[in-house]
Amino acid sequence: MLNWIESRTGFISMTKDFLVEDIPGGASYWYVFGSATVFAMILQIVTGIFLTFFYAPSANTAWESTAWIYTHYWPHLILAIHYWGASAMIALVFLHLLQVLVWGAYKSPRELQWVVGVILLLVTLVLGLTGYLLPWDMNAYFASQVALNITGTAPIAGPLIQQIAQGGGAMGTETINRFFGIHVWLMPAVMVLLVGAHLAIFRWNGPAGPVAEDPRKLKNGRFWPDQMFMDGFASLIVFAIIVALAFISPPFLDAKADPTNTAFIPYPAWYFLALFGLLNVVPPSLDLLATIVVPTLFLLVVIAIPWLDRSTTRSLSARGGIIVSTIVALVAIVGLSIYSQESIQAKQAAAPPSPTEAQVLAMANSTALAPAAAAPAAPGAATASAPGANPLVAAGATVYASNCAGCHAANGMGQPGAIPPLAGNPFVTANPHAVIGVLLDGKNGAITVNGAAFNGQMPAWKGTLSNKDIAAVISYIRGGLGPNKASAVTEADVAAYKP
Ligand code: HEC
């Protein structure tokens, strides 16, 4: 069977060629960072494809479809894995680069492998940046706005690049589409091609091996199965850590992007904290230094390392300059990140509090139903509001929007101190008979909802709304508003009501 395939395709000998590779000095756990990065990349591609099944890129659906993903177990788990996988991938690329740097493995003839590697780091960062915008929540919006504005300040092509990436003068659907296209098509394609080149160059030159005065004296080890086993084991550990983090600390979804809420303090992804910090330490007149000049120079120096390092051997002692500069750069990056983290946290503590995730998701559920969100529904939105499958609940959403939302708010959260919330209010979901009574006859006097006191006047709707509309709106506030999931009420129930 294998011979039959081999004689027609050559696949078997190709696989053998691929697996046969000498490892100078033997297989080692020191060499797993590159393959673990490839593993993380594949994990990102697989989980990313799955997420595109649910995500709908437009200003009206990006956040809604993300909220849908958040409220469903498997999609949410995949999203959490994708989220931590991104961090893992960037951390692994960085560790891999650091190791090559310390070992001097970039030295001739591997200069181009180094250059391709540094470009791959940039591609990974662009993937992180573009992915950050996609949930279209407050943080995604304002953090991306900072990045876009910085791009716009770059000399010469800056404003044009900002215009293209943003898709016009302001952030909106086109921005989401551009970022989406870059995130799921352009950068992954570029990345896969560059990884191919990176590996091809690697095979051409062979592994650099440990730092030894005479590499020819090293005993060779085998790639298959020795190194493959170590690589596989390391990838397994990386996977276990990512999944554990996905369970312990899933990503947080903020309220939907609201461009008018300029008091919001955005928080960048951790791998951009150092750049944010740099921007904070320089005076505003020198912003360009922090946003463009220093990062560009830094990048050029990193790319040029194989040519800047004039030593003839790879030994650490011969490369003191490189090692010391690496340590200085690392300390600066970590220091700036910590500083940036603390200054953002201080600003956030001073800013008005953001809603909790439960509130955000309750809002997601009601906006998905409310006719105010008459915009094309997210692919998931219809299912997210599964109770909406009951036509009474869907009709109730319309009654609610025109009669109740003015006081109880579109998301059913009420108004603190004045109007009680209906979303998450146990009175609403408990006894349907009592709710019918409130709707028909109104309500006044002191009440307590989830520990908060209210004392206002709820108008009577008998005579204003038909029994049918009252049944519909009760069905909606009981079974479609926010997290409420109680039974519907029929027109007959309302007609039969006796105090
Ligand atoms: C003019 C503002 C206003 C409008 C409009 C309004 N409500 Fe109310 N609603 C209130 C206030 C105020 C209370 C609290 C009454 C109290 O303190 O006893 C209340 C209470 C309620 C309660 C009881 C909550 C509890 O925990 O006891 C329900 C149920 C309710 N409203 C549903 C509705 C529905 C459904 C509509 C639309 C048909 C609606 N309300 C329209 C102001 C309003």
Q: Check pocket membership of 284 for ligand 1, CB cut-off 6 A.
A: no
The residue nearest atom 34 of ligand 1, judged by CA position, is 404
What pLDDT is stored for residue 373 in this prediction?
38
Question: Which residues touch 77 (CB under 8 Å, ≥6 apart)?
Answer: 246, 247
pTM above 0.85, yes or no: no
Q: How far apart are CA 121 and CA 302, in angstroms?
A: 11
- CA diameter of the chain: 97
Q: Tokens standing for 4?
A: 């039959």
The residue nearest atom 10 of ligand 1, judged by CA position, is 458
Residue appearing with tokens 């716009």: 152
What pLDDT is stored for residue 363 in this prediction?
67
What are the pLDDT tens digits along the chain (499 aa)? Answer: 999 999 999 999 999 888 888 888 888 888 899 999 999 999 999 999 999 999 999 999 999 999 999 988 999 999 999 999 999 999 999 999 999 999 899 988 999 999 999 999 999 999 999 999 999 999 999 999 999 988 988 889 999 999 999 998 889 999 999 999 999 999 999 999 999 999 999 989 888 888 766 666 778 888 888 899 999 999 999 999 999 999 999 998 988 898 888 888 899 999 999 998 888 888 888 888 888 999 999 999 999 999 999 888 888 888 888 999 999 999 999 999 999 999 999 888 887 777 777 777 776 665 544 333 334 444 444 333 344 457 788 888 889 988 888 889 888 988 888 889 999 899 999 999 999 999 999 998 899 888 888 888 899 999 889 999 999 999 999 988 988 888 889 899 999 998 8
Q: What are phi and psi of 486, to 5 degrees?
A: -95, 175
Torsion of CA 7, 10, 13, 19, to 10 degrees: -150
Q: How far apart are CA 394 and CA 475, in angstroms?
A: 9
Distance 369 CA to ligand 1 centre (A): 20
Q: How far is CA 356 from the centre of its chain?
A: 18
Q: Check pocket membership of 442 for ligand 1, CB cut-off 6 A.
A: no
Nearest to 428, CA basis, from 450, 444, 395: 450
What are the distances in angstroms from CA 127 to CA 134, 179, 225, 457? 11, 9, 33, 53
Asked if 488 and 475 touch (Cβ cutoff 8 Å), the reply is yes
| 477 Cα nearest atom in ligand 1 | 35
Domains, the chain, ordered by start: 26-350 (1.20.810.10), 357-495 (1.10.760.10)
What pLDDT is stored for residue 130 in this prediction?
97
Distance 458 CA to ligand 1 centre (A): 4
Q: Check pocket membership of 401 for ligand 1, CB cut-off 6 A.
A: no
Q: What is the mean pLDDT of the chain?
A: 88
Asked if 408 and 419 touch (Cβ cutoff 8 Å), the reply is yes
Q: What is the pLDDT of residues 383-418, one digit of tens each?
A: 333 444 577 888 888 899 888 888 898 889 888 888
What pLDDT is stored for residue 325 in this prediction?
93
Distance 478 CA to ligand 1 centre (A): 13
Q: What is the pLDDT of residues 24-50, one digit of tens each?
A: 888 888 889 999 999 999 999 999 999
Q: What is the pLDDT of residues 316-366, one digit of tens each?
A: 888 888 999 999 999 999 999 999 999 999 888 887 777 777 777 776 665
The residue nearest atom 42 of ligand 1, judged by CA position, is 458
Task: Using CB atoms within 10 Å of the CB of residue 108, give its burial: 0 to 12 exposed, 13 to 18 middle, 19+ buried.
Answer: exposed
What are the distances in angstroms from CA 96 to CA 121, 197, 307? 10, 17, 20
Distance 365 CA to ligand 1 centre (A): 20
Q: How far apart are CA 469 and CA 464, in angstroms?
A: 10
Q: Check pocket membership of 428 for ligand 1, CB cut-off 6 A.
A: yes
Q: Check pocket membership of 476 for ligand 1, CB cut-off 6 A.
A: no
Q: How far apart are CA 85 and CA 374, in angstroms?
A: 35
How many CA atoms are closer than 13 Å to the CA of 7, on its beta-carbon side? Answer: 3
Q: How far apart are CA 326 and CA 332, in angstroms?
A: 10
What pLDDT is stored for residue 383 in this prediction?
38
| 465 Cα nearest atom in ligand 1 | 38
Q: Check pocket membership of 407 for ligand 1, CB cut-off 6 A.
A: yes
Q: Check pocket membership of 464 for ligand 1, CB cut-off 6 A.
A: no
Nearest to 480, CA basis, from 409, 430, 411: 411
Asked if 101 and 322 touch (Cβ cutoff 8 Å), the reply is yes
Q: What is the pLDDT of residues 123-132, one digit of tens each?
A: 999 999 999 9
Q: Check pocket membership of 473 for ligand 1, CB cut-off 6 A.
A: yes
